[in-house]
């Protein structure tokens, strides 16, 4: 009889160990970091994907290379979502269900990306001209989702300790890196110079896979982000249920003890001792000079990294070569999460240090703006030193400001939930101001000149 029961006992023991391991894995810190990074990845991956896929879609859609101008305007209109969330927080504090808003915008993004993959090339006739109305409509949806994420995702992170804010920014760096890597594998923007009837003309090479596949990749990434957020919510609810059960059991045990021995361990019956209000420290205002300084630094850094410099990146790199452009984009986007990872271990809290850091990034930004202004004949053209200098400048510029943004986000996390909301507003406001400033300079006044491919643009200089 005992021999028959022994294998069953071993099976039960093994099953219990497996369940315990699953519970430990589900509650592990490493999984929390991973889920937060994947959740944050979905914040701007849709808009970033549109920008890197532009060289492919402009050859199909009727707007051609006027499409970037449309994208800039639609992204600006996407701020309506961020404004609506901000006004709701102001007019009805504590009434907005952040979980529900995040779930809604994530589902909206997944559905829009799937429909984009199916119908992105469809056009309609508007006022007698062919227009890519479907592509522009889904672009607006993506812009609405991304802009709203800045004022919902960051306040949600207040539920976690400050080190997870740095993981969040690492995930946001992935939202730029992953589309760039896939676009490189796709072979976006590759061309050859061919002699046709005595004249050299550029011939763009066919991509390794079509834009439809790229948008399906985007749909998968957004789905992963949405599932990661769902997992975070499930883990929080389970943790709260367990803690509530433990507190309930502890309270029941204490009540039983007090009923049996009301004076044990110095206790007194409730009726014999009046309750005393604990002295609370006076509430401190958020609007200190340091916090205002941090918000201004955050707005300026995002104006440069999300608005000003991306508008002229092609002018700074393409005169050297297409490879220079791809290297600066990919290595710059790798520098972003690496800088965020560095902030996991080193946090610069000095206001003076943060100012020096921003000035250093601003110096590289000024050099890159000078290269854009001198396009299509920048200094050291045709020299390997020129290529190295522009690529290194993009890497350091992106790395410094990425680190700056993570540090400021960490410091504002310590100031409370409302501070993280203001953090998101500053990011969005800076990005919007930067984009609106550069839009007329690039698309209306044509301050920056783009050279022609396969042509010596500097022979007259």
Judge whether 312 and 369 are in contact, CB under 8 Å: yes
Q: For residue 206, which phi and psi values (nearest 5 degrees)?
A: -70, 140
Using DSSP bridges, classify how beta strands 129-131 and 191-196 pair: parallel, antiparallel or unpaired: unpaired
State the number of CA atoms in the 13 A half-sphere of 82 facing the CB: 29
Residue 365 CA: distances (Å) to CA of 52, 348, 372: 21, 21, 11
- Per-residue pLDDT, 327: 86
Q: For residue 207, which phi and psi values (nearest 5 degrees)?
A: -70, 155
Q: What three-state secondary structure class fits 350?
A: coil
Comparison of pLDDT for 71 and 105, the residue scoring more = 105
- Per-residue pLDDT, 16: 66
Q: Give percent of the chain above pLDDT 90.
A: 51
- Per-residue pLDDT, 262: 46
Q: What is the pLDDT of residues 420-437, one digit of tens each?
A: 999 999 998 998 899 889
- Per-residue pLDDT, 243: 57
- Per-residue pLDDT, 384: 93
pLDDT confidence tier of residue 257, bands split at 50, 70 and 90: very low
Q: For residue 194, which phi and psi values (nearest 5 degrees)?
A: -120, 145
CA-to-CA distance for 81 and 153, rounded, in angstroms? 13
Q: Give percent of the chain above pLDDT 70.
A: 86
Q: What three-state secondary structure class fits 128?
A: coil
Structure token digits, residue 371: 């290269």
CA-to-CA distance for 341 and 346, rounded, in angstroms? 9
Q: What is the pLDDT of residues 41-55, one digit of tens each?
A: 999 999 999 988 988
Structure token digits, residue 459: 């022979």
Q: What is the mean pLDDT of the chain?
A: 85
Q: What is the pLDDT of residues 73-101, one digit of tens each?
A: 888 889 899 999 999 988 988 888 999 99
Beta bridge partner(s), residue 192: 203
Burial 105-130 (b: 16+ CB within 10 A, else e): bbebbbebbbbbbeebeebeeeeeee
Judge whether 180 and 51 are in contact, CB under 8 Å: no
Highest mean pLDDT among 285-289, 298-302, 417-421: 298-302
Beta bridge partner(s), residue 130: 125
- Rounded average pLDDT over 164-178: 93
End-to-end CA distance of the chain: 99
CA-to-CA distance for 391 and 334, rounded, in angstroms? 12
State the number of CA atoms in the 13 A half-sphere of 164 facing the CB: 21
Matching residue, tokens 């975070």: 232
CA-to-CA distance for 65 and 41, rounded, in angstroms? 28
Judge whether 179 and 329 are in contact, CB under 8 Å: no
Q: Is the pLDDT of residue 201 over 60?
A: yes
Q: What is the pLDDT of residues 390-406, one digit of tens each?
A: 999 999 999 999 999 99
Highest mean pLDDT among 201-205, 424-428, 444-448: 424-428
Judge whether 166 and 410 are in contact, CB under 8 Å: yes
- Per-residue pLDDT, 155: 93
- Per-residue pLDDT, 274: 38
- Rounded average pLDDT over 280-287: 64
- Rounded average pLDDT over 316-320: 89
Judge whether 408 and 175 are in contact, CB under 8 Å: no
Residue 256 CA: distances (Å) to CA of 252, 271, 304: 6, 17, 63
CA-to-CA distance for 252 and 258, rounded, in angstroms? 10
Q: 44: exposed, middle or buried (C-beta count within 10 Å: 0-12, 13-18, 19+)?
A: buried
- Per-residue pLDDT, 280: 45
Q: What is the pLDDT of residues 9-46, one digit of tens each?
A: 445 456 667 777 877 888 889 999 999 999 999 999 99
- Per-residue pLDDT, 271: 39
- Per-residue pLDDT, 255: 54
- Per-residue pLDDT, 268: 41
- Per-residue pLDDT, 279: 44
């Amino acid at each position: 009889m005992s021999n028959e029961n022994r294998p069953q006992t071993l099976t039960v023991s093994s099953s219990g160990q497996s369940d315990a391991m699953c519970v430990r894995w589900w509650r592990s810190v490493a999984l929390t970091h991973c889920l937060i990074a994947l959740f944050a990845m979905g914040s701007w991956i849709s808009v970033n994907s549109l920008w890197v896929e532009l060289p492919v879609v402009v050859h199909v859609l009727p707007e051609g290379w006027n499409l970037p101008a449309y994208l800039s305007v639609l992204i600006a209109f996407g701020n309506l979502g961020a404004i609506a969330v901000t006004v709701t927080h102001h007019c009805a504090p504590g009434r907005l269900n952040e979980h529900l808003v995040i779930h809604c915008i994530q589902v909206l993004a997944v559905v829009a990306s799937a429909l984009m993959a199916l119908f992105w090339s469809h056009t309609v006739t508007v006022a007698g001209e062919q227009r890519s109305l479907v592509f522009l409509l889904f672009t607006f949806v993506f812009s609405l989702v991304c802009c709203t994420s800045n004022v919902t995702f960051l306040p949600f992170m207040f539920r976690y300790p400050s080190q997870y804010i740095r993981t969040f920014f690492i995930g946001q760096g992935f939202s730029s890196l992953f589309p760039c890597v896939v676009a490189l594998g796709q072979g976006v923007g590759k061309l050859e110079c061919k002699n046709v009837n005595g004249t050299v003309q550029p011939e763009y090479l066919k991509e390794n896979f079509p834009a439809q596949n790229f948008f399906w990749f985007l749909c998968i990434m957004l789905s992963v982000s949405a599932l990661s957020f769902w997992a975070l919510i499930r883990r929080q609810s389970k943790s709260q249920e367990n803690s509530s059960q433990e507190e309930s059991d502890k309270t029941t045990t204490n009540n039983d003890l007090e009923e049996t021995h009301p004076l044990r361990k110095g206790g007194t019956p409730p009726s014999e001792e009046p309750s005393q209000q604990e002295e609370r420290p006076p509430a401190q205002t958020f609007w200190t000079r340091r916090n205002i300084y941090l918000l201004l630094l955050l707005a300026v850094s995002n104006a440069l990294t999300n608005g000003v410099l991306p508008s002229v990146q092609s002018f700074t790199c393409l005169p050297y070569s297409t490879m220079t452009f791809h290297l600066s984009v990919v290595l710059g986007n790798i520098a972003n999460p690496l800088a965020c990872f560095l902030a996991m271990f080193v946090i610069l809290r000095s206001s003076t240090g943060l100012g020096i850091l921003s000035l250093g990034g601003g110096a590289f930004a000024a050099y890159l703006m000078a290269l854009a202004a001198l396009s299509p004949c920048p200094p050291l053209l045709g020299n390997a030193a020129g290529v190295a200098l522009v690529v290194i400048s993009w890497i350091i510029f992106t790395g410094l400001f990425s680190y700056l943004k993570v540090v400021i986000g960490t410091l504002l996390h310590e100031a409370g939930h409302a501070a993280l909301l203001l953090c998101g507003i500053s990011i969005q406001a800076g990005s919007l101001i930067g984009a609106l400033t550069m839009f007329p300079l690039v698309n209306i006044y044509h301050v920056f000149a783009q050279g022609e491919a396969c042509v010596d643009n500097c022979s007259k200089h």
